[in-house]
């Protein structure tokens, strides 16, 4: 099996993914998409930023839209268990030779900015301003009725290297795709919070952000979103789905925001809390891997992603390819 044994005692304790910071070229257009179409709640905004959260989230934000000359991703953020974990994380990343800096972020306490093994910018924090609960304010529910941010998926030029690095900081593999010819990983799903994934890695030119996913109550919410998007000028923003993944068993839809950032709408995967849970292996050529019903993904899904600010992606040397829709 091409994955490492779970590291149950990492050097610091990441609780879960937290938020993404998108660089967007038209702040008003992006705000309309995330707030009016998807249904995220605006928690603050100014001339250069919009902060949003989903309906079950108590933290101030899970998405930050930042006015930018170019569409990009500024960082992926994770919450740690306590303040001491921030100091332990800084010491660990320093020892790996990775850049570290304490940065100021609105509505957050101490925040550590660093980078993973590919140079992808990640930020760690413990405290974020808490907001009153709104999950029972049903008058606020609209769009796809997003409940919470669920995961990131990132293109990686070497998935084996990504899994090894994130395993060292406690991310456990739940499912993976292996290229039978080379014996290498083509994709892997890793978690901290007890779902199928907090961050997944897909073979390709990277690092680039493949997508950010939001959990919704039922598949019917996805149908409602499709009806809404197809009749309000967003038909071309629907990329793939609806469908059910073989991997994760989740019901899904992939859409693109006005700048092309990919968003997955996601529900009905399974719990992975047990520390000795065995990962599930998939063969790259299995047609049910992508979609349980056998429908392949479009080429854009394998080739297009969001770049990280100031970071040039590198092509993968693993040339194996899955089944691609014509």
Supply the CATH number for residue 293's domain.
Answer: 3.10.180.10
Domain end (from 66, 95, 129)? 129
Confidence of residue 2 (pLDDT cuts 50, 70, 90): confident
Q: Is the pLDDT of residue 256 over 80?
A: yes
Q: Residue range 223-235: average pLDDT?
A: 98
pLDDT at 250: 96
Same domain, 296 and 183: yes
Same domain, 178 and 295: yes
Domain count, the chain: 2
- For residue 14, which of 125, 99, 113, 97 has the smallest C-alpha distance? 125
pLDDT in tens, 66-97: 999 999 999 999 999 999 999 999 999 999 99
- Of residues 34 and 323, more confidently modeled: 34
Evaluate whether residue 61 is within a structural domain.
yes
pLDDT at 322: 84
Same domain, 117 and 166: no
What pairing do the DSSP bridges indicate for beta strands 148-156 and 121-125? unpaired
Evaluate whether residue 22 is within a structural domain.
yes
Same domain, 162 and 228: yes
Evaluate whether residue 185 is within a structural domain.
yes
Those residues whose C-beta lies under 8 Å from the C-beta of residue 75, and which sit 6 or more positions away, are 20, 21, 113, 121, 122, 123
Same domain, 19 and 161: no
Confidence of residue 278 (pLDDT cuts 50, 70, 90): very high
Same domain, 125 and 154: no
Confidence of residue 50 (pLDDT cuts 50, 70, 90): very high
User: Mean pLDDT across the chain, nearest whole number?
Assistant: 96
**pTM score, whole prediction:** 0.97
Evaluate whether residue 26 is within a structural domain.
yes
Evaluate whether residue 266 is within a structural domain.
yes
Evaluate whether residue 194 is within a structural domain.
yes
Same domain, 152 and 300: yes
Same domain, 117 and 153: no
pLDDT in tens, 98-141: 999 999 999 999 999 999 999 999 999 999 999 999 999 999 99
pLDDT at 141: 97
Is-contact 167 229, C-beta < 8 A?
no
Q: Residue range 313-323: average pLDDT?
A: 90
pLDDT at 135: 98
Same domain, 82 and 183: no
Is the CA virtual torsion 117, 206, 195, 75 positive or negative? Answer: positive
Q: Is the pLDDT of residue 1 over 70?
A: no
Same domain, 302 and 234: yes
Range of the domain at 267: 143-307
pLDDT at 321: 83
Angle at 78 between CA 30 and CA 33, to 5 degrees: 10
pLDDT at 212: 98
Evaluate whether residue 321 is within a structural domain.
no
Same domain, 152 and 234: yes
| DSSP letter for each residue of 22-33 | EEES-HHHHHII
How many other C-beta atoms lie within 10 A of the C-beta of residue 183? 10
Interior/surface letters 248-275, b for 16+ CB within 10 angstroms, e for the rest: bebbbbbbbbbbebbbbbbbbbeebeee
Evaluate whether residue 18 is within a structural domain.
yes
Same domain, 232 and 123: no
- What are the C-alpha distances in Å from 189 to residues 18, 110, 196, 215? 17, 29, 7, 16
Q: Give the ranges where the chain is alpha helix by DSSP (H).
A: 27-31, 83-95, 159-168, 219-230, 287-290, 299-303
């Amino acid at each position: 099996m091409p994955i490492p044994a779970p590291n149950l005692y990492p050097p610091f304790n990441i609780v879960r993914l937290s938020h993404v910071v998108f660089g967007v070229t038209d702040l008003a257009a992006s705000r309309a998409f995330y707030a009016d179409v998807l249904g995220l709640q605006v928690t603050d905004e100014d001339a250069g930023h919009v902060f949003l959260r989903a309906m079950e989230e108590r933290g101030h934000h899970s998405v930050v839209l930042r006015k930018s000359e170019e569409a990009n991703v500024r960082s992926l953020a994770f919450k740690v268990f306590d303040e001491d974990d921030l100091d332990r994380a800084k010491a660990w990343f320093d020892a790996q030779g990775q850049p570290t800096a304490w940065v100021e972020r609105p509505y957050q306490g101490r925040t550590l900015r660093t980078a993973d093994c590919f140079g992808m910018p990640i930020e760690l924090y413990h405290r974020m301003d808490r907001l009153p609960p709104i999950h029972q304010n049903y008058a606020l529910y609209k769009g796809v009725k997003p409940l919470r941010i669920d995961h990131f998926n990132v293109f990686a030029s070497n998935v084996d290297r990504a899994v090894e690095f994130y395993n060292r900081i406690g991310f456990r593999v739940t499912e993976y795709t292996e290229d039978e010819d080379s014996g290498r990983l083509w994709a892997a799903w890793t978690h901290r919070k007890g779902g199928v994934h907090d961050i997944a890695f897909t073979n390709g030119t990277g690092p680039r952000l493949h997508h950010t996913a939001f959990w919704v109550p039922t598949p019917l919410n996805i149908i409602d979103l499709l009806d809404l998007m197809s009749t309000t000028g967003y038909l071309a923003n629907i990329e793939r789905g609806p469908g059910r993944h073989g991997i994760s068993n989740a019901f899904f839809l992939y859409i693109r925001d006005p700048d092309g950032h990919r968003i997955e709408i996601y529900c009905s995967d399974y719990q992975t809390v047990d520390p000795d849970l065995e990962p599930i292996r998939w063969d790259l050529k299995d047609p049910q891997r992508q979609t349980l019903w056998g429908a392949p993904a479009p080429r854009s899904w394998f080739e297009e992603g969001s770049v990280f600010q100031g970071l040039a992606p590198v092509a993968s040397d693993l040339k194996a390819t899955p089944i691609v829709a014509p």
